[in-house]
């Protein structure tokens, strides 16, 4: 759905102007090192009177400019006669170029609004001529500029940092281009039906009655043909369904839980996997997360679904601060990682990450695994999960763990031929890694 086009023809020039202004400020903050979701949440809190349409457009412009930042940056540099040092002005031009290159927003409105934002919001009256000239120059030379940019560098062509491209080329010599292409797409929207309240076929019928289409995916999943706002989903507020990527939905089944088990979800927020486990079995479940603010999201999700768990704020790598000493029969360790498998949902990640971050993540993952292993009973199982596609965080991490722990065994994954599973992103799901470890 192209919100730029919709807003314009609904009499929304002012809405487009506000969204462009706020998106430019958001992109500038991300390029200065801030997290996009946190920036957008702050902006939305500062502007509570924004309509749903404005909010949707703000997200579209912010995400789009960052999703295509590689080529947009190359185009902008080609249009500038000298480097532009002002971060806010540069971000405004990137957002406007995204609108002109990738949306159906009327070109004259995009240019006019960018000039007005330059003068009214950024207070850069002297730069209005520059903004107008750059955008109109792009309109005249659009195809040539985009083509030249894509040929100039791999960062522009593939929309990812060079180190990221190089790593995927080494680790996936036959698949790296497909992985990169997926990272630049809009993500699919998948649902998880609460099996305590109904089945997939019944919910598909409810969707059809509401004018929405999708198809079954896995045991409890539905892939929608078109994303929709959650308030349009039948029974969402009553806990009948949740939004959860199809790849993420594998976790609960792979952990092999049964009624009465003592289970730990060690990095629980925002709670999708926690809830799924409780939908499958009656468990004595502890949901742990180091961020008490994010832990509130777990509690909110559980309340909506009518489920209960013990929610604790604590560091999974330091169980001595929160663990009561009673071993768990099952542990889900969805550990912090590069998030390289979900980058299309978080396009800021690829520009904020540095290759050196992978070393930091692998050290943190190893600390968490070693600590949680002490909390697992003999004969128990731990499911190691990342939303990464990088081998250092996945196959190599598990291999190193097995070298350190003689009492650990890598088990076949239930329902899969592999002993560990690297799920690469595709049209239906994001990229995830799974490994099931047993304590001998």
Give the torsion sign (CA, 359, 355, 31, 344): negative
Say whether 250-439 and 190-243 share the same fold: no
Instruction: Give the per-residue pLDDT at 53.
Output: 84
Taking only the tens place, the pLDDT of each residue in 336-370 is 999 999 999 999 999 999 999 999 999 999 999 99
- Output the six-digit token pair for 153: 């560098």
3-state helix, strand, coil in the chain (%, to 5): 50, 15, 35
- In the beta sheet, which residues pair with residue 332? 265, 383
C-alpha angle 64-70-75 in degrees, rounded to nearest 5: 95
Is the pTM higher than 0.85? The answer reads yes
Task: Say whether pLDDT at 8 is over 60.
Answer: no
What SS3 class is residue 408?
A: strand
Instruction: Give the per-residue pLDDT at 54.
Output: 86
Task: Say whether pLDDT at 409 is over 50.
Answer: yes
Judge contact between 388 and 394, C-beta under 8 A.
yes
Judge contact between 113 and 16, C-beta under 8 A.
yes
Which CATH code fits 190-243? 3.30.70.1170
Percent of the chain's residues with pLDDT above 90: 90
Taking only the tens place, the pLDDT of each residue in 123-146 is 999 999 999 999 999 999 999 999
Residue 337 known to be catalytic: no
* Catalytic one of 311, 337, 375, 387: 387
Of the candidates 118, 70, 67, the one whose C-alpha atom is nearest the C-alpha of residue 92 is 118
* Homologous superfamily, domain 250-439: Vaccinia Virus protein VP39 (3.40.50.150)
Yes or no: is domain 3-155 CATH 1.10.940.10? yes
Instruction: Give the per-residue pLDDT at 18.
Output: 84
- Cα dihedral 423, 181, 276, 215, rounded to 10, equals -100
- Cα dihedral 194, 340, 369, 271, rounded to 10, equals -20
Domain assignments of the chain as residue spans, ordered by start: 3-155, 190-243, 250-439
């Amino acid at each position: 759905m192209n919100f730029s086009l919709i807003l314009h023809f609904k009499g929304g020039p002012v809405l487009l102007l506000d969204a462009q202004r706020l998106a430019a400020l958001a992109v500038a903050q991300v390029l200065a090192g801030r997290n996009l979701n946190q920036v957008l949440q702050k902006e939305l809190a500062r502007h509570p009177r924004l309509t749903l349409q404005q909010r949707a457009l703000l997200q579209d412009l912010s995400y789009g400019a960052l999703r295509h930042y590689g080529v947009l940056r190359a185009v902008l540099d080609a249009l500038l006669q000298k480097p532009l040092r002002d971060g806010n002005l540069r971000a405004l031009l990137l957002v406007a170029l995204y609108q002109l290159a990738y949306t159906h927003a009327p070109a004259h409105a995009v240019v006019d609004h960018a000039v007005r934002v330059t003068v009214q919001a950024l207070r850069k009256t002297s730069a209005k001529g520059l903004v107008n000239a750059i955008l109109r120059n792009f309109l005249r030379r659009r195809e040539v500029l985009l083509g030249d940019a894509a040929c100039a560098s791999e960062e522009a062509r593939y929309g990812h940092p060079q180190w990221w491209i190089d790593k995927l080329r080494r680790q996936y010599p036959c698949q790296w281009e497909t992985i990169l292409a997926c990272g630049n797409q809009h993500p699919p929207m998948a649902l998880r039906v609460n099996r305590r309240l109904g089945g997939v076929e019944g919910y598909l019928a409810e969707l059809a009655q509401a004018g929405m289409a999708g198809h079954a995916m896995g045991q409890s999943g539905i892939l929608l043909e078109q994303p929709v706002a959650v308030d349009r989903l039948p029974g969402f507020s009553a806990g009948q369904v949740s939004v959860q990527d199809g790849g993420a939905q594998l976790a609960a089944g792979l952990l092999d839980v049964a009624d009465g088990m003592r289970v730990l979800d060690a990095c629980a927020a925002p709670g999708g996997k926690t809830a799924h486990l409780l939908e499958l079995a009656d468990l004595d479940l502890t949901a742990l997360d180091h961020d008490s603010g994010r832990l509130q999201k777990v509690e909110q999700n559980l309340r909506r679904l009518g489920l209960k768990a013990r929610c604790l704020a604590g560091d999974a790598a330091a169980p001595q601060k929160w663990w009561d000493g009673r071993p768990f029969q099952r542990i889900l360790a969805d550990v912090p990682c590069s998030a390289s498998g979900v980058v299309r949902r978080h396009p800021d990640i690829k520009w904020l990450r540095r290759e050196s971050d992978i070393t930091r993540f692998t050290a943190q993952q190893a600390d968490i695994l070693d600590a949680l292993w002490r909390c697992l009973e003999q004969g128990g199982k731990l499911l190691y999960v990342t939303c990464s596609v990088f081998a250092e965080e996945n196959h190599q991490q598990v291999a190193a763990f097995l070298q350190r722990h003689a009492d650990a065994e890598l088990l076949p994954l239930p329902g899969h031929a592999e002993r560990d599973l690297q799920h690469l992103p595709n049209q239906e799901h994001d990229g995830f890694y799974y490994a099931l470890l047993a304590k001998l």
